[in-house]
Structures are given as structure tokens and as C-alpha cells.
Amino acid sequence: MRIATSTSRKPFARGTAPVAVDTARTPTAGHWRIGRAYRADRLVCGDVQVMVSLDERLGLTERERRMIHVRFHEPVDDGLRAELIELTRRRGTASHRAAERMGPIELVVDDPQSAHERMVGGLRPPQRRHGQLHEIEFGFGQLKRT
């Protein structure tokens, strides 16, 4: 935990000590973790970088707060590569339709401090569409977490 340097309100408790802020809940707490991607119990990418961060806007549910970004590194299955390239080339609603046509992907994230985390969901169109495949960050819409 760190101490907030500026607050808009003074705490109701005695004194004017700053309120403690949980850094694990802040949007900057996300860091890249290594994982693998599967489709129909078949490995489609052995080196996937996954970043999970939290959106602190008001009015969002726990599931909506969780933002997941994915980068695919080599080797990538040829079928998945073709779908990723199509997703990066499309713009606007065409990119969203292309993302909806893609089948779900299961991500297994290796975490050295705890057990493996499994996430099943679909990809979302990237914000940045140019560059090498390993440089492009795709959004990941999680369907369920096991």
C-alpha cells in the first residue's frame, strides 16, 4: 500500500493523515504476464503476453472493471494468424464483426506467486493496428474465469 499524496476530502477520523490507497486496485498495477493460448484443447500460441488492469470509473461492475490486453508472440497457429491479420486490417464496425466471427480462445496465464489462471473469451479489435504481430495489443473480452 502507498499513501495518497492529495485527496479531495479530509478523512472523518481524527487528524489529517492521508488515506491509504491499495496499489493492487489502481489501473497502473497491471503488468505483463506470460501465458499460452488454446482453441478446442489445441495449443495455438505458446507465448502470449497478458496484462490485466482495473478501470476505476464509477458505476462499473467487478467484471466490467477488469481490462485485459493480449499480445501474441511466435509461434502462432496459421489459422489464428490469418484471423488476427484480418482483425487488424478491418476498421470500425467491420472490425467488431470480424472479432465476433472468431471462435473463443482459452488463455492459461502462468503466475509464479499462485496457481495458473484460466480465462475463456473472445478477442477485441486493437487500438494500434500497424507493426509486427507481437507489438499489437488486442483487447480480450472474458466470458468466464476458472
**15 within a domain of the structure (yes/no):** no
**71 within a domain of the structure (yes/no):** yes
pTM for the whole structure: 0.69
pLDDT at position 64 over 80: no
**82 within a domain of the structure (yes/no):** yes
Return the H-helix or E-strand segment holding 100: helix 92-101
Query: Which domain covers residue 141, as residue numbers?
Result: 30-145
**42 within a domain of the structure (yes/no):** yes
**Number of structural domains, the chain?**
1
pLDDT in tens, 75-110: 899 999 999 988 888 888 888 888 888 889 999 988
Amino acid sitting at position 101: R
Distances (CA, A) of 70 to 48, 52, 86, 114: 7, 9, 16, 20
pLDDT at position 5 over 60: no
**16 within a domain of the structure (yes/no):** no
**126 within a domain of the structure (yes/no):** yes
Measure the CA–CA gap between 87 and 123, rounded to whole angstroms.
Answer: 9
pLDDT in tens, 6-27: 554 544 444 444 444 444 443 3
